[in-house]
Amino acid sequence: MSAKLYNVAVVGATGAVGEEMIKILAQRNFPINEIKLLASSRSAGINIDFMGEQCVVEELTTDSFSGVDIALFSAGAIRSREFARVAVDAGAVVVDNSSAFRNDPEVPLIVPEVNGHSVGRHNGIIANPNCATIQMVLVLKPLHDIARVKRVVVSTYQSVSGAGKQAINELSEQTRQVFSMQDINPVKFPYQIAFNCIPHIDVFDDTGYTNEELKMVNETKKIMEDYSIELTATTVRVPIFYCHCESVNLEFEKPLSADQAKTILSSSQGIEVVDNTEHFKYPMAIDAAGKDLVYVGRIRDDNTVENGLNLWVVADNIRKGAALNAVQIAEKLTEE
């Protein structure tokens, strides 16, 4: 990383991802000269600790980005569309965690371990992919390089933290209400999430797929730089607080055994293989929470198709699925 120090802004500093970005910047000793914490007027004035100092959250305005070198956005697509270009015009490079620019052909969509070479192609904005996409492509890429992925069928089991702080609070409160035999009135989700699974994340389109499912399809092809990959997804919200889990079925162009896949993934950056069924060792959300790695296990041959594998992939959606990936992109920027 460069010895130069940078002025960094975190937009959405009081949200679940924004708070994690601040922690990770400190944990990874990012070369910061000054940090500016930005949020809505509701959060302005709140103090947040950064490396032992109390930083005051400022209201996000069009004047917020003077002198900022790198702006990490995690305030939703509406705010990103409103303020990202403002930040760029002020001289900052924006790393945006929302869906606002992911499909823009002029905006790189980056997972550093997969396509970090594309960071330098930005015109001021770099998009951070969807959390469920990030953990999957990290596992796909080293296998794709060897045998080329032909088709993917993925089913996700996504924690409530992917829907923000309100969703975390709703699961906590509903759990209490269930045990107290109280009535439950869902707010963040269309149905009770406590002790339930909801096969519906984001809005449906006229084909019956949700935007979350289509994000995985479109983003995977862009990140992998291979639009010939066929992918279909089913995304499900489950009643856990942190970590997304994914059942991934792969079909390759070339033969690739489960043992070969384990060897390849074991030596791949950002991945840890946890796969010993004899001793019931496989990735679980309770073990991955708070961790930076993507965990993969239950690696086994799919004998119903030629050159098929099944995988189970787990990662902390707030860290690698959002905040950490954004900070890693910023680190790549300092190397450019």
Q: How far apart are CA 41 and CA 56, in angstroms?
A: 12
Phi, psi of 259 (to 5 degrees): -65, -40
3-state secondary structure of 266: helix
Classify the C-alpha dihedral 117-122-124-126 as positive or negative. negative
Which of 131, 144, 243, 245 does the annotation list as catalytic? Answer: 131
Which of 55, 144, 243, 244 does the annotation list as catalytic? Answer: 244
Q: How far apart are CA 236 and CA 158, in angstroms?
A: 6
Residues 6+ apart with CB under 8 A from 60: 11, 38, 39, 40, 75, 79, 83
Is residue 245 part of the annotated active site? The answer reads no
Residues 6+ apart with CB under 8 A from 12: 18, 38, 39, 73, 74, 75, 76, 79, 97
Place of tokens 């993925």: 154
| Nearest CA-CA partner of 285 in 313, 314, 321 | 314
Is residue 200 part of the annotated active site? The answer reads no
Describe the chain by its helix, strand, coil percentages, rounded to 5.
35, 25, 40
Cβ(282)–Cβ(298) under 8 Å?
Answer: yes
* Residue 89: HSE in the Cβ half-sphere, 13 Å Cα cutoff: 8
E strand spans, 70-229:
70-73, 93-96, 125-127, 149-158
Give the dihedral of Cα atoms 327, 330, 335, 336; nearest 10 deg: 150
Query: Which residues are tagged catalytic?
Result: 131, 244
